[in-house]
């Protein structure tokens, strides 16, 4: 049957001992304006013979109300051929579509020779509030779900398993996206998201036996003015693939109030590749940024061959009174924290350990800087400060085996 015609067509039938015991669906585009296409559970899988697209083509007349909707009912299994996909919405926002899939299994027709279908593609034309994957299984895909063009589908209580590349890959999603209550099992990577979009995105998920059992964060700059980006604890590390900068670029309009904030929650581990850094604020005071990190571990992705990440760079644009490192661990960096351009972040109750050069190196800090209650363990040097800036700067710290360096 043609996909365009499949709408509550099959139910209460019995299928026995057929050579191919399924409903064959000839691939097409589901595109009827404002129409919901119901794929009900008739006891056998729906098997597609190619790609399936879900979007209308009336150029945005009546907006979301004209979206075509594919509704797949609980218990249904939908199978795709190798390298074929399900696409919701076109990459033009004027061609709308939606998917309502609760309790559905999406899989490949045949896993021979490690074959994978492409996965579910959420494009610009997908309607956020009615594109839902809930309590479903997405398996044996290359990428279970790909999200594009600032979309925020509902993704909750699903199982992503046996996907050869990613369970979910978000190239660009809306801040409203929440990926919660899902299980990621035996994928190469469970999730990849862009740093600029990561804001309370992932929580309450379970990650088991993935080849790379962490959240991959594609490096970028966090820059949205006056916005706080919450990196919550989802039980696995956030692993960056490059540098991360935190600062806006509106040339000091409204001063500190426009600074973006990276807030990392207690228990989170953030890992950086060799020679990459986290920069708070730009080297000019007109590009502000903040870091709020309490109970966080900052470390390197891999210590092989004595590799070190570069560390945390506090620049001129960092906002003093809200750039805070408290009760955190900064380890396996070249320099744990570097302070520049008369800054005075809060640095208290942290552990600096295994840093190859310095725990803290201050090139130039404000007299208000207080480094207190920290532990410095097995760094080459614990701290370096400029004599001109040293004024009640350091007290109540613990140093194990090492010494100060003044210059």
| Domain identity same for 27 and 47 | yes
| Domain identity same for 210 and 73 | yes
> What's the pLDDT score for residue 274?
98
Domain boundary among 154, 184, 218: 218
Q: What is the residue range of 147's domain?
A: 1-218
> What's the pLDDT score for residue 16?
97
What whole-number distance in Å separates Cα of residue 367 and Cα of residue 332? 28
Which residues make Cβ contacts (< 8 Å) with residue 392, sequence separation at least 6? 370
pLDDT tens per residue, range 220-254: 899 999 999 999 999 999 999 999 999 998 766 66
> What's the pLDDT score for residue 284?
87
Q: How confident is the model at residue 65 (pLDDT cuts 50, 70, 90)?
A: confident
Question: Which segments within 281-334 are labelled E, that is strand?
Answer: 290-294, 297-300, 311-314, 324-326, 329-331
With a cut of 90, say whether residue 167 has pLDDT above it. Answer: yes
| Domain identity same for 61 and 42 | yes
> What's the pLDDT score for residue 321?
87
| Domain identity same for 202 and 230 | no
Q: How confident is the model at residue 378 (pLDDT cuts 50, 70, 90)?
A: very high
> What's the pLDDT score for residue 403?
53
Count other Cβ atoms within 10 Å, centred on residue 378.
14
Domain boundary among 201, 218, 235: 218
Average pLDDT over residues 386-404: 87
| Domain identity same for 279 and 302 | yes
Average pLDDT over residues 15-40: 93
DSSP state of 44: S
Q: How confident is the model at residue 61 (pLDDT cuts 50, 70, 90)?
A: low
With a cut of 90, say whether residue 406 has pLDDT above it. Answer: no
| Domain identity same for 256 and 194 | no
| Domain identity same for 332 and 236 | yes
Average pLDDT over residues 118-136: 96
> What's the pLDDT score for residue 289?
96
pLDDT tens per residue, range 293-339: 999 999 999 999 999 999 999 999 999 989 999 999 999 999 999 99
* Predicted structure pTM score: 0.94
| Domain identity same for 241 and 157 | no
| Domain identity same for 178 and 271 | no
**407-to-170, 280, 310, 369, 385 alpha-carbon distances in Å:** 47, 25, 21, 17, 7
The tally of domains found in the chain comes to 2
| Domain identity same for 187 and 232 | no
| Domain identity same for 341 and 258 | yes
- Kind of pairing, strands 277-280 and 202-203? unpaired
Domain boundary among 218, 248, 265: 218
As a whole-number percent, the residues of the chain with pLDDT over 90 amount to 86
| Domain identity same for 29 and 105 | yes
Kindly report the CA angle at 330 between 324 and 331, in degrees rounded to 5?
A: 170
Q: How confident is the model at residue 92 (pLDDT cuts 50, 70, 90)?
A: confident
């Amino acid at each position: 049957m043609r996909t365009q015609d499949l709408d509550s067509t099959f139910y209460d039938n019995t299928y026995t001992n057929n050579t191919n015991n399924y409903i064959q669906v000839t691939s097409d585009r589901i595109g009827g304006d404002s129409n919901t296409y119901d794929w009900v559970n008739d006891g056998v899988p729906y098997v597609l013979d190619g790609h399936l697209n879900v979007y209308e083509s009336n150029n945005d007349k009546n907006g979301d109300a004209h979206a075509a909707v594919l509704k797949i009912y609980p218990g249904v299994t939908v199978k795709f051929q190798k390298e074929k996909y399900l696409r919701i919405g076109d990459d033009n926002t004027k061609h709308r579509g939606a998917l309502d899939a609760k309790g559905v299994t999406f899989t490949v027709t045949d896993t021979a020779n490690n074959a994978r279908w492409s996965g579910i593609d959420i494009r610009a034309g997908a309607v956020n509030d009615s594109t839902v994957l809930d309590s479903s299984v997405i398996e044996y895909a290359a990428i279970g779900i790909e999200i594009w063009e600032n979309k925020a589908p509902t993704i909750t209580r699903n199982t992503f398993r046996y996907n050869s590349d990613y369970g979910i890959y978000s190239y660009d999603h809306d801040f409203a996206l929440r990926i919660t209550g899902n299980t990621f099992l035996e994928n190469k990577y469970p999730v990849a998201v862009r740093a600029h979009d990561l804001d309370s995105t992932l929580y309450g998920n379970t990650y088991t036996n993935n080849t790379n059992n962490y959240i991959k964060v594609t490096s970028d700059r966090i820059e949205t003015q006056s916005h706080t980006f919450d990196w919550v604890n989802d039980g696995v590390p956030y692993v960056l693939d490059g540098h991360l900068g935190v600062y806006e670029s509106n040339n000091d309009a409204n001063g500190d109030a426009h600074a973006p904030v990276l807030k990392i929650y207690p228990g989170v581990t953030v890992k950086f590749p060799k020679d990459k850094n986290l920069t708070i604020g730009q080297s000019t005071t007109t590009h502000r940024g903040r870091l709020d990190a309490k109970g966080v571990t900052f470390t390197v992705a891999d210590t092989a061959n004595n590799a070190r990440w570069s560390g945390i760079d506090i620049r001129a644009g960092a906002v003093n009174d809200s750039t805070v490192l408290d009760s955190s661990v900064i380890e396996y960096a070249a320099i744990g924290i570097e302070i520049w351009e008369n800054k005075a972040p809060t640095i208290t109750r942290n552990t600096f350990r295994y840093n190859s050069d310095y725990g803290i190196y201050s090139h130039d800090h404000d007299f208000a800087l207080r480094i207190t209650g920290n532990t410095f363990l097995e760094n080459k040097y614990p701290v370096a400060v400029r004599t001109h800036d040293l004024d009640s700067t350091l007290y109540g710290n613990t140093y194990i085996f090492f010494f100060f360096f003044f210059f």
